[in-house]
Structure 1
Amino acid sequence: MRITTDAVEKFLRMQLMLGPTRYAYSDLTAITGHFGEKLGEGGYGSVYKGVLPGNVHVAVKVLGKSNCNGEEFISEVSTIGRIHHVNVVRLVGFCSEEMRRALVYEYMPRGSLDKYIFSSERSFSWDKFNEIALGIAKGINYLHQGCDMQILHFDIKPHNILLDNNFVPKVADFGLAKLYPRDNSFVPLNALRGTVGYIAPEMISRSFGVISSKSDVYSFGVLLLEMAGGRRNSGMHEESSNQDYYPSLVYDQLTEQQLGVGEISSATTVSDMHELERKLCIIGLHCIQMNPHDRPTMSEVIEMLEGGVDSLQIPPRPFFSAHKAMPSSELTEISEVDK
């Protein structure tokens, strides 16, 4: 039986979709309608909505000045473009034309997680929050363990977790992280990046330990505490600078009262802490331990999220939790805060 020309074309199109497509800058201009609809802006550049042939919606991130040359950029994004995981945003294509660089991602219609966890009304049930946390953990673990090269994200936060139509979480902006061989424990200082409030202590000073995948675990722990409490970690914004350090409040609630959800989750009025809220808090506190060796791996975090709360032990008090959050002045040079 002869294969029709249409079937062959469809097959070739599918093959092209397996890896990132290289676009000319003029293609991006057409795809985005002359960059007419801006979705957001961050430290790396601006993001615009675009439409590919076949009515495929994409997000086009136009990057600012890059230190790597064109060949390095193409090599890196083509490698990242072969990464496929249900909890990682897929890189559809890229542009490298003279000094113009851009990344084309699949479009996530529900936006980023931050607008759901910091809203005045509880957006999801605790079961859904646990499901979303588990999905994020699986995405990060895949970047750490599931690829030929270890990918350290260095900027895990709610803003960089995107949701698809079914609210499935996907880790985004991982393509802006560097790739490192898994046996290379030393990461050069110029690789540092992150956002104030989520940066692991060893990212600020080597006296706290070696920068590794455990640095992402720390950031994920802060994210879990924010998901549980529906409020941002203190020290990230001026208006919260006079408040107690948030993880300290969580720890005190868990150890001293075992109840009193009102102190942690301002959007909840019940007197007893929901077991899944308690679970997210305990796992989050494990993840933000000062010493990287005391933090779980992401695969261990997945096991904890999949298990019950009764088997979880409250960890020692994180070192910083007795103090205010780290002064932002110490982080200025290595931080980039997305608005």
Structure 2
Amino acid sequence: MAINIKLYELIKITDDFSDDRKVGSGGYGDVYKAVYRGEKIAVKLLNSTKEGIDDEQFKKELENHMKAQHPNIIRLVGYCNDERKVYIERKDGLSVFGRQIFRVLCFEYMPGGSLHTHISENSLGDEWRTHYNIIKGICEGLHHLHCGGKRPILHLDLKPANILLDMNMVPKLADFGLSRIYTSNLTHVPVDSPAGTWRYMAPELLKPGGELSAMADIFSLGVTIIDVIKGSQDFGDYDDNGTAEFIAKVPTQYCHDVKTVF
């Protein structure tokens, strides 16, 4: 069960969110490495000035992580939603006290980094079993989101950058900022404001009036699987080249190893 970590504790273990502690940065916030009660954790400080990141969005991501507990889903350690007064010097020369909002999610620290980094650096190795286990773990984590609870959770931003690896190369799904929980028995719901990384987005999400369903995550999963198989090699626009050409370019050592796995 995730605990409410006090702001003063987070300030202490991150050296007041110093750059020296920062291990990642993105549009939705920064990530810092810290140690809390003897455990290495990743402290995700959401960008309070980013449009759409408010108490409701924070609550949604927090609840989604609390509901999704699985070996292939990043473990939530704690959270914080607090503020502190800061001294602000305005351009007109006057000084005032303002509010600095801290919306923070703390997760288990993943020493393997992101799957995206391993793919881009071609550091997954040549063993098919490693690639297969990563793909299998991603599938099991996504299956738990869709089928493991009372109501399905859609990730909606599944991609290698949002899949982290532990020291044993076990993949764990992360970053549920765009996730939704199905609140009805409908298999499809209208898309109001599509967001995400377009390359991993299902075509129906990119069309006006498109409908959202679990198949959107399946599309993202398919693209991610192809990325894991092809590694960092330049296959060009493989979706336009045809299946036969893509298979012909897949590393030849996989052809033998895949038989031993299946």
Report the TM range for the smaller structure's normalisation: 0.7 to 0.9
Aligned to 1:47: 31
Aligned to 1:177: 179
| Range with greater deviation from structure 2 (174-183 or 150-159) | 174-183
1:247 aligns with 2:239: yes
Which of the residues 39, 61, 67 maps onto 1:56? 39
Aligned to 1:13: none
Q: CA deviation at 1:187?
A: 4.6
Cα distance in structure 2, aligned partners of 1:61 and 1:211: 28
Between structures 1 and 2, the one with greater helix share? 1
Cα distance in structure 2, aligned partners of 1:125 and 1:210: 39
Query: Kindly tell me: are residues 198 and 69 of structure 1, through their superposed partners in 2, closer, same or farther at Cα, counting changes over 3 Å?
Result: closer
Aligned to 2:197: 195
Partner amino acid, structure 1, of 2:36: L
Q: CA deviation at 1:210?
A: 2.1
Q: CA deviation at 1:162?
A: 0.5
Q: CA deviation at 1:76?
A: 5.5
Q: Which stretches in structure 1 are left out of the alignment for 5+ residues? A: 1-18, 233-239, 280-306, 309-339
1:186 aligns with 2:178: no
Which of the residues 29, 38, 43 maps onto 2:22? 38
Q: Give the alignment of 1:259-274 within 5 angstroms.
A: 260=248, 264-265=249-250, 268=251, 270=252, 274=255
Cα distance in structure 2, aligned partners of 1:218 and 1:118: 21
Aligned to 1:337: none
Partner amino acid, structure 2, of 1:186: V
User: Structure 1, residues 119-149: CA drift from partner, whole Å, max 9, x if none?
Assistant: 2455251111111100000001111111223
Aligned to 1:164: 166
| 2:57–2:177 CA contact under 8 A, matched in 1 | no
Partner amino acid, structure 2, of 1:87: N
Aligned to 2:8: 26
Counterpart secondary structure, 1:202: helix
Aligned to 2:73: 88
Aligned to 1:104: 106
Q: CA deviation at 1:83?
A: 2.6
Q: Give the alignment of 1:281-292 within 5 angstroms.
A: none
Q: Give the alignment of 1:231-242 within 5 angstroms.
A: 231=232
User: Structure 1, residues 165-194: CA drift from partner, whole Å, max 9, x if none?
Assistant: 21111001125523232524315423x321
Aligned to 1:70: 55
Cα distance in structure 1, aligned partners of 2:164 and 2:124: 18
| 1:50–1:58 CA contact under 8 A, matched in 2 | yes
Between structures 1 and 2, the one with greater strand share? 2
How many positions carry a matched residue from both structures? Answer: 239
Cα distance in structure 2, aligned partners of 1:122 and 1:68: 34
Query: Kindly tell me: are residues 103 and 173 of structure 1, through their superposed partners in 2, closer, same or farther at Cα, counting changes over 3 Å?
Result: same
Q: Which stretches in structure 2 are left out of the alignment for 5+ residues? A: 84-100
RMSD: 2.8
Counterpart secondary structure, 2:139: helix
Normalization by structure 1: what TM-score? Answer: 0.63
Runs in 1 of length 4+ with deviation above 4 angstroms?
none
Query: Kindly tell me: are residues 118 and 69 of structure 1, through their superposed partners in 2, closer, same or farther at Cα, counting changes over 3 Å?
Result: closer
Q: CA deviation at 1:70?
A: 3.4
Cα distance in structure 2, aligned partners of 1:172 and 1:197: 18
Cα distance in structure 2, aligned partners of 1:165 and 1:121: 13
Partner amino acid, structure 2, of 1:138: E
Cα distance in structure 1, aligned partners of 2:9 and 2:123: 41
Q: CA deviation at 1:27?
A: 2.0
Q: Percent identity at matched positions?
A: 35
